[in-house]
Structure 1
Amino acid sequence: KDLQEKNKLLKTLADMDGLTGIYNNRYFQSALDKELNRTARNKNPLSLVLVDIDHFKRFNDDHGHLVGDFVLTEFSRVMGANLREYDVLARYGGEEFVVILPETTEENAFLVAEKLRSAVEEQSFTEGVERYRVTASFGIASIVSSAEDSLDKMDLIRMADEALYDAKKRGRNQVAVYSVKKKWYKFA
């Protein structure tokens, strides 16, 4: 029994980001595979949101990496507090995060991302006497059935990344949606 508990702990540690305490990229990749399979089977919608903290390199340069790490951790907490229990929030790398929204249409994914964007923008991260604020850009890709759309994981990530790029290009602190069917972008 002790060995089982240790193995379970090791698995948990292997799936989690050491700094933020949320899922890591490795876990995200596996979870996205599972959700794509479920989407193909059940014909439910699936949305993916890529998130990037705006100008975070400059923030780190200005305030130092310890403050940057604190903000990454608090940012993760704010994001997680505004998601459903079965949504998957993971650190994609550096200041990039990803959210898997199972059974979520493009329209609802937009509402979720806008809620997250607003929550981050309004949040003041306080450490000691210092207060820090950041904003984030969001890129969304949604599908109805991965079999119908013949999309793989990399296609979905690429589309969300293209939308994220457009959100940044249009001034940051925005949500952009990449539509599989229409191949065009919407902005808030």
Structure 2
Amino acid sequence: MSVHKDTYNETEELKKQIETLERVNEALMESIKLLEEKVIHCPLTGLYNEEFFQRYIQDILNACLSTKRNGTLLFISIDHFGEINLHYGSDAADETLKKYAAYLTNQVPQGSILFRLNGALFACYIPDMVREGALEIAEKIRTATASADIFVCYITVSIGVILLDELFIYEDLNPEALVDFVIDAGKQRLNIAKKRGSNQVCAESDLKITEKSKAVILLADANTFRLEMLADLLESEQFSILKAHSGDEALSLIINNELDLILADLSLPGMNAIEIKQQINHYSRLVGIPFVLITDKKRVEILKQAYAQGILIVLERPLFLEELLAIVSNFSKTKVV
């Protein structure tokens, strides 16, 4: 009798151990699932992140190129997002990104995949979508965003459209190079949309593989030491630098060169930085060049004058190099012609 009882007790104990192990295993699997979700999702918006985007698009391109199956990639950027950060603060900017991600989810077709790449840049993959449908969806997103009143301020978006059938002639490229090419081409069309005045859709430009050219930046500062130090820093980051020591010299370089960004100290001799911006605003081909003003102190009157001329970024010394490099990298571009 005692033998049966001992066996029964051992069996019950074993059942309890198995149940405990099953619960531990379930908890472990749930933890792994949550960890995987964190790795592939943007913590702010909940959308898939840039790292996952690159892996996913590589798989999609491999499949579509081998079967000649079409699809569409939209690159969607909130226009003048820096102004929200500047005027309303970083919390409001983050809330705008979060809200827009949710808003965008309701604007794209069922079966689409949304990603947040970086900053205010989003991407959307729409399977089995031809040109007419892609343009219709892009325009719907653009117009709906412009009429939405759920954000901290009025916002618009610019959109670059890439049709996968445009890439069929590049099927011999290795997968990594093809992904880079697609992203560069999408951002190029996005840049074209923004240069047309923002709140635009661009689905046309020549797609040719070329070497990436360096972004050209003008540095204007009467202080030679500061000028050379900043020039060395940016050149080490693979930017092409032009230098000016006065307002007149800066204006001449702006007029006679193709620039991607201007970084100018306020107190330039001859013509200060705000006066330079006022002058280049008269040139339609120059007015869109991003302009960063650097000053010793952010006084209210300086900010008012800067904003009035369309200078949206004003930095105060001492400069935080990480912030400066982030701004410069955001405005730099890869040229695909």
Aligning the two structures, in what range does the TM-score lie when normalised by the shorter sequence?
A: 0.7 to 0.9
Could you say if the C-alpha distance between residues 136 and 102 of structure 1 is closer, same or farther in structure 2, counting changes exceeding 3 Å?
same
2-structure distance, mates of 1:138, 1:42:
27
Greater RCO structure (CA 8 Å; 6+ sep):
1
**Alignment partner, residue 125 of structure 1:** 150
Which residue of 156, 159, 166 corresponds with 1:135?
A: 156
| TM-score, normalised via structure 1 length | 0.87
Gaps of 5+ in 1: 183-188
Number of the residue aligned with 2:110: 85
Which amino acid counterpart does residue 19 of structure 1 have in structure 2? Answer: L
- Structure 1 residues 145 and 160, CA, compared in 2 at 3 Å: closer, same or farther? closer
Deviates more, 1:107-116 or 1:138-147: 138-147
Q: 1:174 & 1:63 partners in 2: Cα distance? A: 25
Partners of 1:147 and 1:10 in 2: how far apart?
Answer: 36
Give distance in 2, aligned partners of 1:94 and 1:17: 11
* 1:88/1:101 contact within 8 Å kept: yes
Report the Cα distance in structure 2 between the residues aligned to 1:108 and 1:136, rounded to whole angstroms: 19
Distance 1:3 1:170 in 2: 52
Deviation of 1:46 (Å): 2.1
Compare the two structures and name the one with the higher strand fraction. Answer: 1
Deviation at 1:95, TM superposition (A): 0.8
Larger Cα Rg: Structure 1 or Structure 2? 2
Q: Which amino acid aligns with 1:94?
A: G
1:160 aligns with 2:186: yes
Answering whether residue 198 of structure 2 is matched by residue 172 of structure 1, we say yes
Secondary structure of 1:160's aligned partner? helix
The 5 Å alignment of 1:15-164 reads 15-126=40-151, 131-144=152-165, 146-150=167-171, 152-164=178-190
| Large movers: runs of 4+ above 2 Å | 145-151, 178-182
Offset at residue 146 of structure 1 (A): 4.7
Cα RMSD for the two superposed structures = 2.0
Report the identity percentage.
Answer: 29
Count of aligned pairs between the two proteins: 178
